[in-house]
Amino acid sequence: MSHNAESTAFRSALEVIRAVEPRVADAIGAELADQRESLKLIASENYASPATLLAMGNWFSDKYAEGTVGRRFYAGCQNVDTVEALAAEHARELFGAAHAYAQPHSGIDANLVAFWAILADRVESPALKRAQVRQVNDLTEADWFALRRELGDQRMLGMSLDAGGHLTHGFRPNISGKMFDQRSYGTDPATGLIDYDRVAEAAREFKPLILVAGYSAYPRKVNFRIMREIADSVGATFMVDMAHFAGLVAGKVFTGDFDPVPHAHIVTTTTHKSLRGPRGGMVLCGPELADQVDRGCPMVLGGPLPHVMAAKAVALAEARRPDFADYARRIVDNAQALADGLLRRGATLVTGGTDNHLVLIDVSGYGLTGRQAEQALLDSGIVTNRNAVPQDPNGAWYTSGIRIGTPALTTRGLGAAEMDATAELIHTVLTQTTAGTGPDGAPSKAKYVLDPAVAEQVGKQAADLLTPFPLYPEVDLT
């Protein structure tokens, strides 16, 4: 039994929880065990540090704190002010931003804050003047409907979902697709890469209020300087969602034209994924949008989560350490090693490789849908997620792709040799899996056939691969 601080803290916490609801304590312990034993290749997941995790379990959870630092609607928020100010300070210094807003609960919330901040900032309307108000928040219901009529179409141009964009970039079932008259830009059918000339053409034709860049499944860099030039050419506000690659920006792997912060009017991000913090969101912007962004609560958000902001401050402080830059570089090195290993074994990759933290495999070459491949890999101890590929014939549910990423395994310490071994395991599973049939004998997009002996053997190899790289070695729950 380990007696270090981390082990004592988590063991004690589970004992306290077990005294009230043992099933919750058991589930927490089981989650740690499952994560320790599986090859986590989900591109949007990582492992937060013990310090970050512990910062979320405390008395800050008991506080309401609507408002912003120094301007709360509840008394007794002086300690919340401290942690929120620290989170914002670390974010500004880390990313070189003029302003940072640490309250959003998620990436979707951060995007909603950005959308409404942009709308409020861009409004110069007789409806506002008649109402003699300064902020959209202050409008009466009648004034708001009048304003909507005068604004007309609120247009957004963002990356399409099947090309690698995110559902919050105008996907119809999402609130962003309902707020805006939306159009998408895709990628070149031959290369899978963004064609900036086509984006510029779409912007000239559509004249969006907001041009959105950023992705959740695009395995290459984006030139944000060119995207800003396109936005400026049509008078659009340029917004970047860097949720997936924020860690690569923080670690100075993406610089110059590929760092969104100097080029965008407003930047949103999550604080987990490659940034390796708690689940949450954040907004970065210049002074011209700062006042509107700070009205995220109550404009869009409910009460801030002070315990999560405390964890954000801890994680952002960690990201400012010199070793984080080395970690960010190794994420990309590992992703490229994994891509190379798959290509050598005959896999088809969207864009033919990667510049960032993720790889997108087109599994149709194996005769599978993404859903079949995802489950077969999970049976074998390899955790991935299915994802659409450009012009995907199977749609967003079954898909034709598997998205894999390296932030989590890089946190554990795996390197290029282990990435090649991982490519071999993935290839073995996919080549040994065949599509199944439905009850009527027709081909199924969900059912599959994989010899349990193959799954068991690959699972054992995956576990052996992880053995030299223990997860949370400082935490002993026994």
Give the lowest-confidence range in 33-37, 252-256, 295-299.
Answer: 295-299
> Which pLDDT belongs to residue 140?
62
pLDDT tens column, 330-386: 999 999 999 999 999 999 999 999 999 999 999 999 999 999 999 999 999 999 999
> How far is residue 476's CA from residue 478's CA, in Å, rounded to a whole number?
6
For residue 147, pLDDT beyond 70: no
Of the listed 8, 36, 66, 476, which one is catalytic? 66
* Mean pLDDT estimate for the chain: 91
Judged against a pLDDT cut of 50, whether residue 125 lies above it is answered with no
pLDDT at 19 over 50: yes
CA distance 212 to 467: 42
Q: Is the pLDDT of residue 439 over 50?
A: yes
Q: State the average pLDDT over residues 32-60.
A: 95
Surface-to-core class of residue 333, CB atoms within 10 Å of its CB (0-12 exposed, 13-18 middle, 19+ buried): middle
| Residue 143 binned pLDDT confidence (cut-offs 50, 70, 90) | low
Contact 451, 376 (CB under 8 A): no
Instruction: Indicate if 183 belongs to the active site.
Output: no
195-214 burial code (b ≥16 CB/10 A, e <16): beeebbebbeebebbbbbbb
Closest CA to 83 of 270, 261, 306, 303: 306
Q: Give the pLDDT of residue 396.
A: 87
pLDDT confidence band for 144 (50 / 70 / 90): low
pLDDT tops 90 at residue 135: no
Q: Using an 8 Å Cβ cutoff, are 426 and 342 in contact?
A: yes
d(CA 8, CA 468): 24
Tens of pLDDT, residues 279-302:
999 999 999 999 999 989 888 888
Catalytic residue among 270, 354, 369, 399: 270
Tell me which of 72, 228, 279, 312 is the catalytic residue.
Answer: 279
Q: What is the CATH number of domain 322-466?
A: 3.90.1150.10
**Whose structure tokens read 């803290």?**
9
Are the C-beta atoms of 282 and 267 separated by less than 8 Å? no
Q: Which of 61-65, 140-144, 265-269, 311-315 has the lowest mean pLDDT?
A: 140-144
Question: Which pLDDT belongs to residue 176?
Answer: 74
pLDDT, mean of residues 197-215:
95
pLDDT tops 70 at residue 137 = no
Q: What is the pLDDT, as a whole number, of residue 319?
A: 98
pLDDT at position 123: 63
Q: C-alpha distances in angstroms, 279 versus 53, 269, 305?
A: 10, 11, 11
- Categorize the per-residue pLDDT at 328 as very low, low, confident or very high, splitting at 50, 70 and 90: very high
Q: What is the 3-state secondary structure (H, E, C) of the chain?
A: CCCCHHHHHHHHHHHHHHHHCHHHHHHHHHHHHHHHHCEECCCCCCCCCHHHHHHCCCHHHHCCCCEECCEECCCCCHHHHHHHHHHHHHHHHHHCCCEEECCCCCHHHHHHHHHHHHHHHHCCCHHHHHHCCCCHHHCCHHHHHHHHHHHCCCEEEEECCCCCCCHHHCCCCCHHHHHCEEEEECCCCCCCCCCHHHHHHHHHHHCCCEEEEECCCCCCCCCHHHHHHHHHHCCCEEEEECCCCHHHHHCCCCCHHHCCCCCCCEEEEECCHHHCCCCCEEEEECHHHHHHHCCHHHHCCCCCCHHHHHHHHHHHHHHCCHHHHHHHHHHHHHHHHHHHHHHHCCCEEHHHCCCCCEEEEEHHHHCCCHHHHHHHHHHCCEECEEECCCCCCCHHHHCCEEEEECHHHHHHCCCHHHHHHHHHHHHHHHHHCEEEECCCCCEEEEEEECCHHHHHHHHHHHHHHHCCCCCCCCCCCC
- Exactly one of 84, 109, 121, 241 is catalytic; which is it? 241
Answer whether 0.75 is exceeded by the pTM. Answer: yes
| Domains of the chain by residue range | 59-319, 322-466
Tens of pLDDT, residues 393-424:
999 899 999 999 999 999 999 999 999 999 99
User: Which CATH entry fits the domain spanning 59-319: 3.40.640.10, 2.120.10.30, 1.10.3720.10, 1.10.540.10?
Assistant: 3.40.640.10
Catalytic residue status for 241: yes
pLDDT value at position 5? Answer: 93
The residue annotated as part of the active site, out of 155, 220, 273, 295, is 273
From the candidates 36, 63, 64, 221, which is the catalytic residue?
Answer: 64
478 is catalytic: no
Best-predicted range by mean pLDDT (132-146, 430-444, 445-459): 445-459
